[in-house]
Amino acid sequence: MAIKRIWHGWTTQGNADNYQDIVTGTVFPRIEAKQIPGYLGVELLRRDHGHEVEFVTIMTFESLDAVKGIQGEDYEKSYVPEEAQQVLKRWDDYCSHYTEIDERSYS
């Protein structure tokens, strides 16, 4: 079963689009360029809370060893690039990791 690596970050309303552009235009392509064995993909979720905007990333890996391939032995520690830190209000210092036990697709 796959491993889901989940992380949260929050921006102001004014920085939300900028943060989204940084993640989709810079951060995700950097991750993909590393061609990490066992990396299966990433999702970006966005939710408006009125006074701030929450973002969630969900990275999918084949195994915990594959997660360590991107982050090393301290794999729970989050990685937030400097350009992202400049527009975020706050973020999770650590990621949560879940074992996927069931996945269903609906058309």
For the stretch 37-84, pLDDT in tens is: 999 999 999 999 999 999 999 999 999 999 998 888 999 999 999 999
Model pTM above 0.85? yes
What is the percent of the chain where pLDDT is above 90? 86
Which residue type sits at 29?
P
Work out the average pLDDT over 15-34. Answer: 96
State residue 2's pLDDT score: 95
Q: What is the CATH number that goes with domain 3-99? A: 3.30.70.100
pLDDT band at 103 (very low <50, low <70, confident <90, very high): confident
35: left (phi over 0), alpha (psi -120 to 50) or beta: left
* Token digits of residue 42: 């990433």
Q: Give me the residue spans of the domains in the chain.
A: 3-99
- Average pLDDT value over all residues in the chain: 94
